[in-house]
Amino acid sequence: MLRCKFLSVIVTIAWAFAAHAQSTDFTAPARDQALLEAAIVNEAPRFVPPTGVTGITVPHHLLAPDLIARGFWAASRGDYDRIVILAPDHFDLVTQSLALLSDDVDTVFGPVKVDQRSTQALLARGDFAQVHPAPEREHGLVAVLPFLAHFFPEVPVVAVIIPMHADAATWAQTAELLLPLVGPRTLVVQSTDFAHYVSPAQAALNDQQTLAALAHGVPGVIEELRQPDHLDAIGAQSVMLQLQGDARPAILANRTSQDYEPDALLDEGITSYIVAAYHSDPAALSVLDYADQTRLFVAGDLMLGRYLRPMLAEPAAVAAMLDTAAQATGGAPILANLEGVLVQEFVANQPDAALVMQARESVPFLEDLSVVAVGLGNNHSYDLGASGLTETLRVLDQAGITALPDRQIVDLGAVRAMSVNMVPQLGRPEAVLADLELLCHRPARPPLIVLPHWGAEYTDTPGREEIAAAEFLASCGVAAVIGAHSHRASERIDLAQGQMPWIYSLGNFIFDQRADR
């Protein structure tokens, strides 16, 4: 671990955990060294965590110490000069816009040192910041400090406690004050529990809305969530996103208190937990692979014929393509949009515009890519007519690759998926909004994702028809919409109906287009 560059006198203070009856239930486990050690050992990853993690979100409910440990393990290989903690003020003890921990703290794993220089600079803003009057009562802080002492024993902290009832302008000011403290060698730890006092079904729905807002990544969307129905710290989450800038989160876990106490009475509802890690390069987080999760990467346009066909005979070219894909996915399964027809034998006199792939070259490559399913709802699946589509389905079936024919819901295990063509295709009508209304009534277990082939080629933003379709699918209960066809990737994830994440276009995955457009 990096030895701290900021010199400070360690003043270890003993906290009286029994000062408040209600908080005792939440803070007492922080003194149980065996409990915390077991959580840390049991969550030790089977992979090498990435370097460069810039932020983590962890619970502060020590009913789930394993989830806190998972978040810290994700950042454990980081080389940090400073850690910034963002925690909520559960007991309304903060009268200014934020409060700070001013003294070093002793934990079961040793002391946590306060970055005195940075803390005192913030406290100099007496009109905005104060010393927290009773940090020993704040379980949003107490729960994470032992993990800081264990994983980063020499790194000083700036602990920020944010009032729950502040407004967006105050959160923006808080982020502006903290931003000079946040650099590439800073870890931001957001201590937040999510849905509170709701039924398990409502918690599942609220968490999906929260996850969609996190995928969108705009603080203003987070600020539209309800507290505590969605989370107990909208302010902490808003400040977190502002400090992370272009870094985006990977979700490492989503559970509820019912997972830990299945027999507990539900009269007062349950609490949910979301664990996340942030990185400026999303591909770096692809190694975060957990046994209790199923991962499926969705890829854009994939075509292995025409000018790409000779490259499949070049081992160096194949290795380069496979390596590039593996860097992004970590070798996880892929669902891609297969543009064209897959045949066993060469087709003579095929149309000039037809996209045709040879099975003996393409299938081994698809298997090495970890492609487990392909969407066929596109404007090239009929390039050789109905017989060509039949042949494609036969080849995929023999290879053990699941096909998603146009407008058919297919169960992929963790999700259901439907590929839908919405652009003109020779000999096959495209889907229109009226067709989507009919599809809306087909039964499918959630989550259902829809993969539309739509829009204008060489564009990265949706038109009115695509926006209307996405809004309709969101109202229909679809979990996500992930588009293709334009050959240019969209720059962001949008939200439809304020709750469904959708992407107009993933662009090309592997395709033979070289033009600047």
Distance CA 342, CA 362 (A): 8
The proportion of the chain whose per-residue pLDDT surpasses 70, expressed as a percent, equals 94
Distance CA 238, CA 225 (A): 11
Q: Is the pLDDT of residue 142 over 80?
A: yes
Tens of pLDDT, residues 196-228: 999 999 999 999 999 999 999 999 999 999 999
In this prediction, residue 331 carries a pLDDT of 92
In this prediction, residue 8 carries a pLDDT of 32
Q: Is the pLDDT of residue 9 over 50?
A: no
Angstrom distances, CA of residue 413 to CA of 338, 479, 483: 20, 15, 21
Distance CA 152, CA 81 (A): 10
Confirm if 472 and 433 have CB atoms less than 8 A apart.
yes
Q: Is the pLDDT of residue 332 over 80?
A: yes
DSSP helix/strand/coil, 476: coil
In this prediction, residue 390 carries a pLDDT of 96
The sign of the CA dihedral 515, 301, 245, 49 is negative
Question: What's the rounded mean pLDDT across residues 420-436?
Answer: 79
Q: Which range (211-215, 257-261, 507-511, 513-517) has the least confidence? A: 513-517
Q: Is the pLDDT of residue 246 over 70?
A: yes
Tens of pLDDT, residues 27-70: 899 999 999 999 999 999 999 999 999 999 999 999 999 999 99
Mean pLDDT, the chain, as a whole number?
A: 91
Residue 516: burial class (beta carbons within 10 Å; 0-12, 13-18, 19+): exposed
Distance CA 438, CA 480 (A): 18
The proportion of the chain whose per-residue pLDDT surpasses 90, expressed as a percent, equals 83
pTM for the predicted model, two decimal places: 0.89
Angstrom distances, CA of residue 141 to CA of 58, 176, 314: 11, 22, 56
In this prediction, residue 426 carries a pLDDT of 66
Question: What is the band of 25 on the pLDDT scale with cuts at 50, 70, 90?
Answer: low
Question: What is the band of 266 on the pLDDT scale with cuts at 50, 70, 90?
Answer: confident
Residue 515 structure tokens: 């033009």
Tens of pLDDT, residues 379-407: 999 999 999 999 999 999 999 999 999 99
In this prediction, residue 121 carries a pLDDT of 96
Distance CA 389, CA 144 (A): 56
In this prediction, residue 5 carries a pLDDT of 34
Residue 456 structure tokens: 């204008």
Tens of pLDDT, residues 432-489: 777 888 888 888 888 999 999 999 999 999 999 999 999 999 999 999 999 999 999 9
Q: Is the pLDDT of residue 2 over 70?
A: no
Question: What's the rounded mean pLDDT across residues 337-361?
Answer: 89
How many residues in total does the chain contain? 517
Question: What's the rounded mean pLDDT across residues 498-514?
Answer: 93
Q: Would residue 228 be called left, alpha or beta, if left means φ above 0 and alpha means ψ between -120 and 50 degrees?
A: alpha
